[in-house]
Structure 1
Amino acid sequence: MLTIAKLSLLAWQDMNELSLTVIKARASEIAAVMINPLQCFHLNQSPPSDVVLSSNNRKVGPTPGYKEWLHKLADVCKTAGVVLVFDEVYTGFRLHPRGAQGAYDVKADIVVYGKTLGGGLPIGVCCGPKHLMARGDVKKAARVNYVMASMNAFLKWQDIMRREKGYPIQLTSWYSVWSILYSNPGRYHWLFQYYLKDAGVNLSWVGSGRLLFSLEWQKADYDRLLERLLTACEEMQKGGWWETPVANIKSKLGMEIGGALFKNILGLS
């Protein structure tokens, strides 16, 4: 979601020409435009939840045209004299040594980083040029400045798991951010994250929906992770959680969710 900062915060849609029109028309009122480049995954929507993960109704990777949108946004902000801020708390150093700026070949005026810089420790950092990071405006003394101062080998893994082993999962990535997709619908895919933990794979907060690599990883690191993924897959399959369902899972889930919603609307227990 695109956030336009003035005396209050205004939220506008990504990849929407109206957002650019507002910036041009109200440039004198706008202090800064802040954008989180990770929104390219789920444009103007919330991150995928467990409900979405169980149905596999999601995608991984940037929305087509997002790079061009960032370039257009940067040009509009520069012409309007509006500061462009990248929220790279998540994407910084994971997509590229220069973060989303490097991945999309676009330059922001200020970049915000998070605990990546502290090796996981709670820390926040704002980076920008001196004239924007200074407490006051050097040109107007009375004005206070409130603007705060890999993957190619990875993608081949799915051949081992899908073709040789027959496991119903597919791996996909966007730079150092990767996800596990399920090739068949199922009720119990959410359990796979626990088998991964037992195999020694520490997951991020959204389960198997979004995971992170270090840009310093070598082939030996990927081989070790692949071994643990295969171990988790084997145990998941042994547990019977990937048995071919007799009923149509999508239809059954739709009926259950629809029935629950209908009861909720009618106030039934």
Structure 2
Amino acid sequence: MIQEAVNLQQSYLSKFIDRYNNSTRTSKEFTQKYRPILADTRVSDGFNFFVKEMLYPIVAKQSLGSKIWDIDGNEYIDLIMGFGINLFGHNPPFIKEALQEQLELGIHIGPQIELVGEVAELICELTQMERVTFSNTGTEAVMTAVRVARAVTGRHKIVLFSGSYHGHFDGTLAKAQATPIAPGVLPNFVADILVLDYGNPQSLEMIESHKNELAAVLVEPVQTRRPNFQPKEFLLQLRQLTKESDIPLIFDEMVTGFRIHPGGAQAYFGIQADIATYGKIVGGGMPIGIIAGKAAYMDAIDGGMWNYGDNSSPQTKKTFFAGTHCKHPLSIAAARAVLKHLKMQGSGLQEKLNQRTSQFVLTLNNYFEQEGLPIRLANFGSLFGPAVSGNDDSENSTFSAIMDLLFYHLIHKGILLRGVGNFLSTSHTDEDCDRIIQAVKDSVAELQDGGFLPKLSIKAS
């Protein structure tokens, strides 16, 4: 009986892989052709012999609104949405116009770009922060925020939480016991990192016991990999503790910033961090990183406030910060268009999209429950993904294998998504959502027939 089930699975998988490869043949050929010269982590992420012949990225040729078209001519409803960048879908007209206008004026790097002051004002208005500076990426923004906190406090240790992601800066690539998460990250780079369990009251006790050593607590308020875990009470307690202990609290709002609320997770939870980092949405598809915060910390970037015509001068000791492409004219132009659009639309834009995503997730979860499937989704606003029970991926290996097969089936049916951190945008229509839901149902039925998912013998009436 067991061997029959294995034979069924092997036969089904072999036929499905052939269908998948045939429909995305050029993407696979592209990946193999350039593998010798193009070192690309996305090509090998999640390597498993089980799905080896399907392990290649879809190569895109065009995008518009909620759709992407690949080099084989296949159309997809995109749920990756630039890893959270495209809140308004692909190539929205108001951003495209802003970029075209700036291209006509030129890409002048060196002198100050005319729009940067207005963009800084808009960010401060929406986030309630006091000062802002610009970098090129989210990784750079987090790196700078940590450096600023260390410079101002004169302390070294940083608290991170398990399950969070703060970019690929060596100084945040740590796991428990302050050990590097990957080869090439030197132990001394993470020696001052304290990795604690997110949401656990004992973590607050650890922070209290180390408070005189801590330069900052860095937190992803809702982790992209765990959208079902939204520990508001823990965050409120963390804010109170860090305030009483004079420890800078840094919110990494790369994903939550401007998505869950115009003011980000801080406004949503009613918590004001000392420093926050932003990117993704605010760049409108262009690369950008933003460090914003209280003047007491941000003054370390430029020395603080002074005036012309008197004896004033920079009074704050500066740390080092630089970057050729910081405040790139195209990024700033796109950010201005995004921020003006968000301000004009108000919080109703996020509220409507958040509600729509919640209903979408609820519909799918009701279907999974009806089918008796071990699959549940969760969302935080328009971010959604599998609901997982903990930080340890190994605990969910069986679940992950099932989801991997489901995702490949969905891609084959024209739904582009990834294992964690998918997004609805304002460009997704009711028709798109209905098509996704139907594709999920059809894929589940196929996996049930192939012996990979259980099939209820008696369906609910």
Report the TM range for the smaller structure's normalisation: 0.5 to 0.7
Aligned residue number for residue 365 of structure 2: 158
Aligned residue number for residue 106 of structure 1: 271
Tell me the amino acid that sits aligned with residue 33 of structure 1. V
**Is 1:172–2:378 an aligned residue pair?**
yes
1: CA distance, partners of 2:321 / 2:215: 7
Tell me the amino acid that sits aligned with residue 273 of structure 2. A
Could you tell me which of 196, 202, 206 is aligned with 2:410? 196
Aligned residue number for residue 18 of structure 1: 205
How big is the alpha-carbon RMSD for the aligned residues of Structure 1 and Structure 2? Answer: 3.7
1:76 Cα offset (Å): 2.7
Could you tell me which of 126, 130, 144 is aligned with 2:318? 144
2: CA distance, partners of 1:147 / 1:130: 16
2: CA distance, partners of 1:147 / 1:121: 21
The structure with the larger Rg is: 2
2: CA distance, partners of 1:127 / 1:211: 26
Q: Which runs of 5+ in 2 are unaligned?
A: 1-145, 158-191, 306-312, 323-354, 389-397, 456-461
Aligned residue number for residue 291 of structure 2: 126
Kept in 2: contact 1:37–1:100 (CA 8 A): yes
Aligned residue number for residue 61 of structure 1: 228
Report 1 or 2 for greater relative contact order, CA contacts < 8 Å, sequence distance ≥ 6.
2
**Is 1:226–2:437 an aligned residue pair?**
yes
Aligned residue number for residue 43 of structure 2: none
1: CA distance, partners of 2:278 / 2:290: 5
1:189 Cα offset (Å): 4.3
2: CA distance, partners of 1:95 / 1:108: 16
SS at match of 1:102: helix
Distance verdict in 2 for CA 1:7–1:170, change over 3 Å: closer
1:86 Cα offset (Å): 0.5
Could you tell me which of 20, 33, 37 is aligned with 2:221? 37
Aligned residue number for residue 93 of structure 1: 258
Kept in 1: contact 2:444–2:453 (CA 8 A): no
1: CA distance, partners of 2:233 / 2:386: 27
1:34 Cα offset (Å): 1.8
Higher-helix-fraction structure: 2
2: CA distance, partners of 1:243 / 1:62: 27
Tell me the amino acid that sits aligned with residue 236 of structure 2. H
Distance verdict in 2 for CA 1:157–1:7, change over 3 Å: closer
Q: Which runs of 5+ in 1 are unaligned?
A: 42-46, 48-58, 245-269
Distance verdict in 2 for CA 1:120–1:238, change over 3 Å: farther
1:112 Cα offset (Å): 0.6
Tell me the amino acid that sits aligned with residue 227 of structure 1. Q
Superposition pairs of residues 222-261 of structure 1, within 5 angstroms: 222-242=433-453
Aligned residue number for residue 257 of structure 1: none
Instruction: Give a deviation string over 1:143-194, Cα, whole Å, max 9, x none.
Output: 225799x24422133334543xx37244333332322469xx7764421110
Give the total of aligned pairs.
212
1: CA distance, partners of 2:265 / 2:245: 22
1: CA distance, partners of 2:216 / 2:227: 29
Kept in 2: contact 1:23–1:76 (CA 8 A): no
Moved more, 230-239 or 101-110: 230-239
1: CA distance, partners of 2:238 / 2:425: 29
Distance verdict in 2 for CA 1:70–1:181, change over 3 Å: closer
